[in-house]
Amino acid sequence: MSILLFDQTKITADSIKYTHTGLLLSGSRVTVVLPTVPRLYLYSGWQSWSLTTWIETSRQVKPLRPSIMHAREADPVYIRGKKPNGSWYGAIEMADGKVLFLGALGLESHVMLDNQTLKGSYETGAGEWLLMVGDEMEVFSRYAQLLQERLGKNRIKEPYRVWCSWYSLYDEIDPTKLLKILADLGDLPFDVFQIDDGWQKSTGNWEPNAKFPQGMQKMAARIHETGRKAGLWLAPLLISPASDIFHEHRDWLLHDEQGHLVKAGYNWGDVVYALDTTHPGALPWLIALMEKVRAWGYDYVKLDFLYAGALPGKRHLDVPRETAYRDGLLKMRTALGDAYLLVCGSPILPSLGLCDGMRIGQDVGDYWDSRLFDDFLINFGTPGVHNALRNTINRLWLQPLVHTDPDVVFFGSHPNQLTPLQRSLLQDLAQIAGFKATSDIPAWMTESEQAGLRGFLEKRPVIQQKSRTSFEIDGRLVDFSAHINMPAQPGPFTNFIGAVLGRLADIPAVMKIFDAENHRSLKKMLKENPI
């Protein structure tokens, strides 16, 4: 059916129901024909690291580079779309400052702006939609309420304060380093000490490697002795060629229609693959893995790179891709019991109600941005504080549903490339998001920097959002608008060079060289800055 709403806006859906806050539509396809072409559109990225921001509709849409990263940083189903589009919801800004919002209330859904027509579609079957016009914060508050009714919300009231090993040590961790840092933290009010990547034999072999000869249970016990929760990082839905599963249970992996393995991106020096969460062998393995981690004593678990479970492909069961992911996450959530679950690299809507915290932006890094990725590769899903701020600000509407993790903050000034202003912006964002974490190492910090970190952890400010990008923190106004802008589009020469670099980066051997140089630099930095 079709109706005219306001100002000659035409809506088409299978059914249309009026409510006091907007319209509830139903259908596998819905359209909203606008009287004019809007100026701004809200891109909604598929997972934690996928670009989410307001962009001028005149800006040309190009797929990020290199293509080997399409699965890791975007939704590969829609990566080639040339029109403004996004996962589950989209919005336009109207002349009076209000927004027109179209958001799906179910999974496997997408919204696209085609000239002056907003189009919503489900990949399989039909579903519900919210169509609403109004103040941006009111619109998203209503959307969050409806999603909570259908998908649920987190269980734990307050997020924890976390020390994480990643942004100082990356994968160069071992018990000696970690226990030295744990001791040096002293009485700093961290609730969690989280061990990140670098403890496992391989991605898919989740047993301690040779650097942890006493096992992970011993590490958890030492953390608990300090009165803190023990945290552990895993990426259970990714499988590397170095793992036993890759060699012994390749049928557990996601395949395409031709029977080839679905590539889930590049990491750890190799192409990685996706676990099929519907496979009768893979599912018990996932459950047993979560139960093992809990038995080791880890009561804070970070599951990363979860997008792999929702990639397109041929599964053992004919289940829609985001539904398959959500079913697998539910099984892992149940097996983890009362542990705090933080998800990262995760599809946003399919994770709601099954996690306590969610990374809502990119990895931060100890630098602002990268001309290589921003200008040459047109890739805004990569690490960097600029990218992380942009995504996080535009996803804070999720706060009623989940603890919003903006990633770590930095108080130490060395080794670190961020300016004092950039560190301050990141710290303010963490106060606004309500999720506090750092990787700062006490031995690398001055007394004043440690005092700043302590004050940050202890403070519980009153936060009030004033506009899309501005907030009051205990009455102090912080406006991010000048710091989350999109860079100018590259010119022809820059674009040509970027295309060449993108092709080179699609060669795994080239990526291995890049990885080797990063590891060399990391080892050199750690040698020059003892813990």
For the chain, give the percent of residues with pLDDT over 70: 99
Same domain, 494 and 442: yes
Q: Is a pLDDT exceeding 80 seen at residue 479? A: yes
Same domain, 427 and 529: yes
* Number of domains the chain is built from: 3
What's residue 8's pLDDT? 75
| Pick from 292, 303, 287, 306: nearest CA to 341 | 303
Place of tokens 């921003």: 374
Q: Write the CA distances from 430 to 162, 166, 380, 408, integer angstroms.
A: 12, 17, 20, 8
Q: Is a pLDDT exceeding 70 seen at residue 453? A: yes
Task: Give 2-41 as a DSSP string.
Answer: EEE-STT-EEE-SEEEE-SSSEEEEESEEEEE-SS--SEE
What's residue 254's pLDDT? 98
Q: What are the b/e assignments for 190-222, b being 16+ CB within 10 Å?
A: bbbbbbbbbbbebbbebebeeebeeebeebbeb
Instruction: Select from 325, 355, 385 the last residue of a domain.
Output: 355
Q: Is a pLDDT exceeding 70 seen at residue 3? A: no
Same domain, 341 and 376: no
Q: Write the CA distances from 294 to 109, 161, 232, 335, integer angstroms.
A: 34, 20, 10, 8
Q: Write the CA distances from 405 to 45, 55, 172, 361, 470, integer angstroms.
A: 16, 23, 24, 8, 18
What's residue 5's pLDDT? 61
Same domain, 385 and 469: yes
- Supply the CATH number for residue 289's domain: 3.20.20.70
Instruction: Select from 151, 176, 199 the last residue of a domain.
Output: 151
Span 148-162, mean pLDDT?
Answer: 96
What single-letter amino acid sits at 68?
Answer: I
What's residue 447's pLDDT? 96
What's residue 126's pLDDT? 97
Average pLDDT, the chain: 96
Domain that holds residue 119: 2-151
Span 236-264, mean pLDDT?
Answer: 97
Instruction: Select from 326, 355, 384 the last residue of a domain.
Output: 355
CA distance 132 to 98: 10
78 within a domain of the structure (yes/no): yes
What's residue 1's pLDDT? 60
With a threshold of 0.75, does the pTM exceed it?
A: yes
What's residue 9's pLDDT? 86
Q: Is a pLDDT exceeding 80 seen at residue 7? A: no
Same domain, 446 and 516: yes
186 within a domain of the structure (yes/no): yes
- Assign 2 a pLDDT band (cuts: 50, 70, 90): low
Same domain, 132 and 260: no
305 within a domain of the structure (yes/no): yes
- Assign 6 a pLDDT band (cuts: 50, 70, 90): low
Same domain, 114 and 175: no
What's residue 90's pLDDT? 98
Same domain, 302 and 250: yes
Q: Could you list the active site residues?
A: 304, 363
Q: Is a pLDDT exceeding 60 seen at residue 316? A: yes
57-78 pLDDT tens trace: 999 888 999 999 999 999 999 9
Span 439-446, mean pLDDT?
Answer: 97
Same domain, 56 and 107: yes
What's residue 61's pLDDT? 84
8-43 pLDDT tens trace: 789 999 999 999 889 999 999 999 999 899 999 999
Same domain, 112 and 58: yes
